Amino acid sequence: MTPNFSLCVYCGSRPGGDPQHIATARSVGLWIGRHGGQLVYGGGRAGLMGEVARATLEAGGRVVGIIPKALVEKEWAMRDCSELHIVDTMHDRKRMMAEHADAFVALPGGIGTFEELFEVWTWRQLGYHDKPVGILNAGGYYDGLLAFLTTAVVQQFMSDWQMELIQVGNEPASLLSNLVQAAGLAPAPRLEGI
């Protein structure tokens, strides 16, 4: 069955220090699955990456994992994905994730998550794609980053229109719904009993 939408999720390969991050990742995965969607992500089984993938599968969604072979060799790949693509490089991974996505969202994560978020945001600014990009600021995780970005606008290194290319939300369901709708798609009604 063709998914209703394909959402690329960037998030940590670690669980983080606050159990709420795990709950947030699971709620994102459950939302994707319950609304007939497909998760596109980095293919890992650990941390928030594994949580969002397992929750998507539990709720009946499809999961496309894309992981460099060097990470597979370290046994970090989640073999339960609906599709697991093993690629040569991180550049191949990010390109393929972008190609498979209708929209992008960043959950809490570290340097890899930041890099992926900023790259896809930059690509949108440059016109390489016109897909929605979001930041899930659950628990205020991104408050400091958002304040810094405001400073960059005030200091005239960025413009307001660049900030308008990012949707920010604190609650998973509303942000994900907005991203999917901004992509010109509609999530299926929530499945009963899940």
Class of domain 6-182: alpha beta
pLDDT at 76: 86
For residue range 23-79, what is the model confidence (pLDDT) as tens digits?
999 999 999 999 999 999 999 999 999 999 999 999 999 999 999 999 887 768 999
Every domain of the chain and the residues it spans: 6-182
For residue range 93-152, what is the model confidence (pLDDT) as tens digits?
999 999 999 999 999 999 999 999 999 999 999 999 999 999 999 999 999 999 999 999
For residue range 34-46, what is the model confidence (pLDDT) as tens digits?
999 999 999 999 9
Helices (H), the chain: 19-34, 47-58, 69-73, 90-100, 111-125, 143-154, 160-163, 172-182
pLDDT band for position 194 (cuts 50, 70, 90): very low
Q: What's CA 22's distance to the chain center, in Å? A: 14
For 162-188, what is the mean pLDDT? 93
How many angstroms separate the CA atoms of 38 and 5, rounded?
A: 6
How many angstroms separate the CA atoms of 185 and 98, rounded?
A: 17
pLDDT at 193: 46
Q: What's CA 104's distance to the chain center, in Å? A: 5
* φ, ψ dihedrals at 171, nearest 5°: -120, 125
